[in-house]
Amino acid sequence: MVQKVRYLIFGLLLFSSWACGKDKDYVVTISTRHGDIKAILFDDTPEHKANFLDLAESGRFDSTFFHRVIQGFMIQGGDVYSKEGLPAQDWPTLPAEIRSNHVHTKGMLAAARQGDAINPQKRSNGSQFYIVQGRTYEELELTTDFPALQKAVFQFMQLASQQKMKEEYTRLYQEGKLDSLNLLLLSKRDEIAKTLSISLTKPYTKEQIQAYAELGGAPHLDFEYTVFGQVISGLEVVDKIAAEPTTREVPNQAVMIKVTVEKMSRKQIEKEFGYVYPPSQ
């Protein structure tokens, strides 16, 4: 019976999220001892939006923690089911809602998940989320498909004309100069792609490239995890949490969270927080 009630609540929230329409939306506030983080949730990830609102409005996020913190990468929290004592094998998941228009720039809210080996459908954890911090990226680094480049470079270096590059690659690798090694690969990317007739780039819009250059983020996660929201106030709080001293990525001093939800007009959200809704929303 309890499970049926939860499904009913989830369904009502999904409907109310849709019914909120173009006029109103929800502002989520994640309160911590460092201050408040405010975020909006995207309409084009409706199952993640409704699920997050359900957990927040029922108070189930409260007294969970940012339990995984990595400076220069992200802060992760919201482990509702561990708090409630649910065995890991029974944790609910959500279907992936991965959208090309949502990438992992700083301040994006995304769903944690298990790896592809046991989760090829990229289903999201039913409660755990992370907020991106990351670092800035230049266009060449951002748009390069590094796994494909790493694979192609070995084929490229077998060419007789690339003996000098092969020697330079070997030297940098043996000396452990990985940054210089990456620069070498990037400088050769287009030549390798042309010679081998392959693509070594990833598609990003001009706006996404600019955002990664100015705000930063974690592009290696793009198109692999569901991004379903965005911080509209409190990025400095994200930075403070990311700077917490940790042991094995767990903050030495607990960073407990409380999550509340407020319905506001979209015009008010745009005016108060400077967030601009895309035409599709």
pLDDT band with cut points at 50, 70 and 90 for residue 279: confident
DSSP states of 101-131: T---BTTEEEE----TTT-TT-PEESS-EEE
Q: Mapping DSSP to helix (H, G, I), strand (E, B) and coil, where does residue 132 land?
A: strand
DSSP states of 189-209: HHHHHHHHT---B----HHHH
- Which residue type is seen at 229? G
CA atoms within 13 A on the CB side of 85: 0
pLDDT band with cut points at 50, 70 and 90 for residue 278: confident
Average pLDDT over residues 103-128: 98
Strand partners, 132: 74
- Please tell me the predicted confidence (pLDDT) of residue 256: 98
**pLDDT tens-digit series, residues 186-241:** 999 999 999 999 999 999 999 999 999 999 999 999 999 999 999 999 999 999 99
Average pLDDT over residues 72-91: 97
Instruction: Copy the structure tokens of residue 45.
Output: 């990830």
- Please tell me the predicted confidence (pLDDT) of residue 17: 47
Q: Considering the chain, what percentage of its residues have pLDDT values greater than 70?
A: 92
User: What's the gap between Cα 186 and its chain centre?
Assistant: 25
- Please tell me the predicted confidence (pLDDT) of residue 5: 42
Distance CA 77, CA 62 (A): 11
Q: Which helix (H) or strand (E) holds 229?
A: strand 227-233
pLDDT band with cut points at 50, 70 and 90 for residue 101: very high
Task: Please provide the CATH number assigned to the domain covering 2-136+205-273.
Answer: 2.40.100.10
Distance CA 223, CA 225 (A): 6
Q: Answer whether residue 2 shows pLDDT above 80.
A: no
Q: Which of 123, 118, 125 is nearest to 81 (CA)?
A: 125
> 97 with 14: CB under 8 angstroms?
no
**pLDDT tens-digit series, residues 243-274:** 999 999 999 999 999 999 999 999 999 999 99
Q: Answer whether residue 15 shows pLDDT above 80.
A: no
Lowest-pLDDT range of 16-20, 152-156, 271-275: 16-20
- Please tell me the predicted confidence (pLDDT) of residue 55: 98
H-assigned helices in the chain: 2-19, 46-57, 80-83, 139-142, 146-156, 163-174, 178-196, 206-214, 235-242, 266-273
Instruction: Copy the structure tokens of residue 52.
Output: 């997050």
Distance CA 254, CA 246 (A): 10
Q: Which of 126, 117, 141, 124 is nearest to 217 (CA)?
A: 141
Per domain, the residue ranges of the chain are 2-136+205-273, 144-196
- Please tell me the predicted confidence (pLDDT) of residue 281: 53
DSSP β-ladder status, 93-94 and 64-70: unpaired
Average pLDDT over residues 130-144: 97
What angle do the packed helices 146-156 and 178-196 form, to 10 degrees?
70
